[in-house]
Amino acid sequence: MVSRPSSTELSPTAISTKIVIAGGFGAGKTTFVRSISEIEPVTTEALMTEASQDFDDLAATPEKITTTVAMDFGRVSLDQELALYLFGTPGQDRFWFLWDDLIRGALGAVVLADPRRLADCFPAVEYFENVPEAPFIVALNCFDGILPFELDDVRAALAIGPEVPLLTCDARDTASAVYTLTELVRYAMNFAGPPALV
């Protein structure tokens, strides 16, 4: 966790933005958020209802079953007037509707992948390929510095285009997490309109 002196109070005129940290279960999303956040990553719950027929043993209760889905987030005050929130995606793939909520208004997304279990990040990559308004990059969280493949092979395995930045990172390391976000923001600049003429 990063502690910064002016972090606790945001100005009454502050605005906010966000970046989404996606990836499979155990890829290091929470660790990544913790490396950058000035608050301890917190978990919040979204309430959803599911049709009761999926729960035969509870058929006696006709009401819908409510399930909570946890997602965690952290915050960085980039300046006194601008707060950046980092949201980790919930692990379970069946909560795609929550991803839509997470990504709405986001600057972009970092898809974290554990190189030993690369396939776990495929659903996230597929999701962001279908959300053209949110640029994404892929960061391989190299647990203990182990990258068993060449980056080009990883790119081929992920079937991502040559334009999508692919890098390695250490989710536990603040400098590495900052660098990863920086790469995303630089990449997002290619999608933004031209700089204002001022």
Partner 1 sequence: MKGTAMLRSSRVRPYAITGGRTIARMPLLLETLVSVPDYDLMVHQMLVAESRDIYALCRSVQSIAEISAALDMPLGVVRVLVSDLADDGRLRIHPTAVHAGVPEHMLLERVLRGLQTIKH
Ligand X SMILES: Nc1nc2c(ncn2[C@@H]2O[C@H](COP(=O)(O)OP(=O)(O)O)[C@@H](O)[C@H]2O)c(=O)[nH]1
The contact set with partner 1 (CB under 8 A) reads 2, 4, 9-18, 36, 42-47, 68, 73, 75-79, 82-85, 87, 101-102, 104-105, 107, 173-175, 178, 181-182, 185-186, 188-189, 192-196
The stretch near Mg ion (CB under 5 A) out of 26-34, 60-68, 152-160, 173-181 is 26-34
Binds Mg ion (CB under 5 A): choice among 30, 141, 176, 180: 30
Q: Is residue 185 within 8 Å of residue 110, measured between CB atoms? A: no
What is the rounded distance in angstroms from the CA atom of residue 26 to the CA atom of residue 94? 17
With residue 126 as reference, give the H or E element that holds it. helix 122-129
- Cα distance between residue 85 and residue 37, in whole Å: 8
Number of residues counted as binding Mg ion (CB under 5 A): 2
- Cβ nearer to ligand X, comparing 73 with 134: 73
Site for ligand X in 18-47 (CB under 6 A): 23, 25-31
Contacts of 174 (CB under 8 A, 6+ apart): 2, 35, 36
CA 175 to chain centre: 17
Phi, psi of 116 (to 5 degrees): -80, -20
Q: How far is the CB of 165 from partner 1 (least distance, A)?
A: 15
Residue ranges that bind ligand X, judged by CB under 6 A: 23, 25-31, 88, 141, 143-144, 170-172
